[in-house]
């Protein structure tokens, strides 16, 4: 669970990232491919659309994390529901893109490194902890999405060696 302090740290730090968003996206993918060069083949040659998707998703996450407690009882459109969006994202990453399960740790490390490099002294221990928690929740949710089966499909058959 994220605390009010976590939410404030995430929002404040994102406000500092926004003016350097393109640089942050460049740093993120540079670091990701340094940590795991084999991941480069999972992406198209032109990374501009991917970088825009990354920034849009991070902005959506920050907006969703900052959702007022008084609004939780209100109906939310599916495209604005963080849980549904992240579950679907996890499913796409697993089913369509065949992203390995161990990639979540590497992506988290690249994200934290990017925030550290981009924010410098503003990336305090409190801010690092908040982003670590929110990323951990997102990674767990995406992993759950990976496990979802297409509607109407049968569960995978398990066989035993004879």
Please give the Cα distance from 98 to 143 (Å, whole number).
Answer: 12
Residue 88 lies in a domain: yes
75-114 pLDDT per residue, tens: 767 676 666 777 777 788 777 777 777 899 999 999 999 9
CATH number at residue 138: 1.10.490.10
20-46 pLDDT per residue, tens: 999 999 999 999 999 999 999 989 999
Residue 112 lies in a domain: yes
* Mean of per-residue pLDDT scores for the chain: 85
Task: Give the CA radius of gyration of the chain.
Answer: 17
Q: Please, which pLDDT band fits residue 127 given cuts at 50, 70 and 90?
A: very high
Which of 53, 32, 51, 52 minimizes the C-alpha distance to 41?
32
Residue 72 lies in a domain: no
Cβ(19)–Cβ(118) below 8 Å: no
Query: What φ, ψ does residue 144 adopt, rounded to 5°?
Result: -65, -40
Residue 92: C-alpha distances to residues 25, 64, 98, 120, 160 (Å): 21, 20, 8, 33, 29
Residue 57 lies in a domain: yes
Residue 19 lies in a domain: yes
Q: Which residues constitute the domain of residue 36?
A: 4-64+77-146
55-84 pLDDT per residue, tens: 999 998 999 887 766 666 667 676 766 667
Which of 27, 3, 51 minimizes the C-alpha distance to 119?
27
Residue 158 lies in a domain: no
Cβ(90)–Cβ(146) below 8 Å: yes
Q: Which of the two residues, 145 and 154, has the higher pLDDT score?
A: 145
Q: What is the separation, in whole angstroms, between the first and last Cα of the chain?
A: 45
- Full DSSP string of 60-120: HHHHHHT--GGGTTS---GGG-HHHHHHHHHHIIIIIS---TTHHHHHHHHHHHHHHHHHG
Q: Please, which pLDDT band fits residue 129 given cuts at 50, 70 and 90?
A: very high
Q: How many structural domains compose the chain?
A: 1
Determine what percent of the chain is predicted with pLDDT higher than 70. 83
């Amino acid at each position: 669970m994220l605390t009010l302090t976590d939410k404030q740290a995430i929002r404040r730090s994102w406000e500092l990232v926004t003016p350097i968003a393109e640089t942050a996206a460049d740093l993120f993918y540079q670091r990701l491919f340094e940590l795991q060069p084999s991941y480069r083949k999972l992406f198209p040659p032109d990374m501009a659309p991917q970088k825009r998707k990354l920034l849009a998703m991070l902005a959506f996450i920050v907006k969703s994390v900052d959702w007022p407690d008084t609004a939780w009882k209100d109906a939310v459109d599916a495209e604005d529901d963080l849980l549904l969006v992240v579950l679907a994202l996890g499913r796409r990453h697993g089913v369509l893109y065949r992203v390995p399960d161990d990639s979540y740790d590497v992506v988290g490390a690249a994200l934290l490194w990017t925030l550290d490099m981009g924010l410098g002294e503003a990336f305090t221990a409190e801010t690092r902890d908040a982003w670590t928690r929110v990323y951990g929740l997102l990674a767990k949710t995406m992993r759950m999405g990976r496990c979802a089966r297409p509607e109407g499909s049968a569960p995978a058959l398990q066989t035993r060696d004879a």
